[in-house]
Amino acid sequence: MSSPLALGPQKLRRLEYRKIFAILLLVGKEKEIPIFIKHRVSDEELPLIPMKVSDEERLLFSGQSKPDEILHCFRSWNATAIHQFEQQQWRVLAPVFKDPENEGVFQRDLDKHGNVFAVKQLLHHRNIGSQDAGLQSEINVLEGILKPQHQHDHLINMLATFRIDGMDYIIFPWAETDLLNYWRWKNPDPTPSRRTVKWLLEQCHGLARALHNIHRWPTTRSSKLVNAASSSGNGSGESEPVVLFGRHGDIKPMNILWIDNGGLGTLKLADFGTARFDAEGAPPPVNLDVATTPNYRAPEFRPDTAVSSSWDIWALGCVYLEFVTWLCYGWEGVDTFADDRLAEDPHHEFRTTTFYEQGEGGPRLKPAVLTHLDELSRGIPYPTVLRLFLDYIMEKMVIVEDQNVNRSNTTELVQRTEGILGEFHFLWVD
């Protein structure tokens, strides 16, 4: 549906009213289309902007071309009809995303009356042959997590994907901040109370379980999570159960999201752009996707070495250590600890805050880490509970591996954090 020609500043153009007419149909007001044409409220004015008028109890609308002027074609409408128009306009404006089971419209409503979603733009990985490989890797992981049998309280889930002008995007539930900025801005000076200590232990246990799901992922041989080089991708027995061995690859506070869902919130592991999954017996892939931040990399990391799930244990242990530091000394303590670790890095042209350094006999914990541990152990406000957790971090997670010393796997990590949490009431010392 279009109007008679409208005179523009440079040439005659025809105003379109197809979307306006569709919305009017949806709200049972299709007979009012002549009034919209008379006032030139065309598709170009969408989405209409709700406005509060001082002498009106109801909301009215303005258009995109003149956002400060009220549209008179709504003067005779009641509040219910106006609200219906406001909601239904998104049916013709929002992208429609399809999945195998149903179709739905995702509304990106950024005002206080609606839901807010996070949209992530994906950058293609330059080190992979196909431009879409990096995108498809993260989507495959997230599609697996999205399945009901894989949803987890401490893993972020994907709502939809879409492509515009050759760029790929993923829609996630909204998270107010990540763990690093939670420490820095949201709660920089925590009270190390019984409630806060319990929350910290619960979140660390939840993240351990989330990582265990990634390291031991139950699925079938037809799963998209299986790498092309995996022995499980042979097309035979596609419904046969199989456990994939995965790695997250880039655990750090900025990749752990803080969700405000009441109480002290929930932490969720996110950003699966470097995650990889392989079936048992498949050769471990060479690490081609170098994580952007080296600060949480394990000592044995090399760009040309096989990927190891033990790297995730090291990185999560470093996050745990900073988490305990935040609880005891607040953001100032976390920031000071990072400054103390800042040093020249032989693998980079800039200084890093890694937790280890290269010594004459190989990698070792930085002196700043050892000094911090000593101060933390002596000054910890609730020694019985937190020292037990701290000892486990430094004895089984943030350690330099060799032939005689190995880090915990996620099975042990889940069991140990569950044990500490289960004994919490008995270990607490006021």
Q: Which domains does the chain have, with CATH numbers?
A: 2-93 (no CATH), 107-172 (3.30.200.20), 175-427 (1.10.510.10)
Q: Which two tokens stand for residue 355?
A: 């937790």
Least confident range of 30-44, 112-126, 200-214, 249-263: 112-126
pLDDT in tens, 197-228: 999 999 999 999 999 988 887 776 666 665 43
Q: Which two tokens stand for residue 163?
A: 């492509």
Confidence of residue 188 (pLDDT cuts 50, 70, 90): very high
**CA–CA dist 337, 419 (Å, integer):** 28
Q: Which two tokens stand for residue 359?
A: 């010594």
Its pTM surpasses 0.85: no
3-state secondary structure of 245: strand
Task: Determine phi and psi for 221, rounding to 5 degrees.
Answer: -65, -15
Q: Are 71 and 89 in contact (CB under 8 A)?
A: no
pLDDT surpassing 80 at residue 3: no
- Using the Cα atoms of residue 234, residue 239, residue 243 and residue 246 in order, give the sign of their dihedral: positive
Q: What is the mean pLDDT of the chain?
A: 78
Confidence of residue 114 (pLDDT cuts 50, 70, 90): very low
Cβ burial of 51 (10 Å; 0-12, 13-18, 19+) is middle
pLDDT in tens, 236-258: 556 677 777 788 888 999 999 99
Residue 419: which of 395, 385, 394 has the closest Cα? 385
Alpha carbon of 244 to those of 33, 133, 218, 297: distances in Å?
58, 19, 6, 23
Owner of token pair 């009441």: 262
Residue 354: which of 371, 334, 375, 369 has the closest Cα? 369
Beta strands 276-279; 241-247: pairing state:
antiparallel
174: which residues sit within 8 A by CB, 6+ positions away? Answer: 115, 116, 117, 118
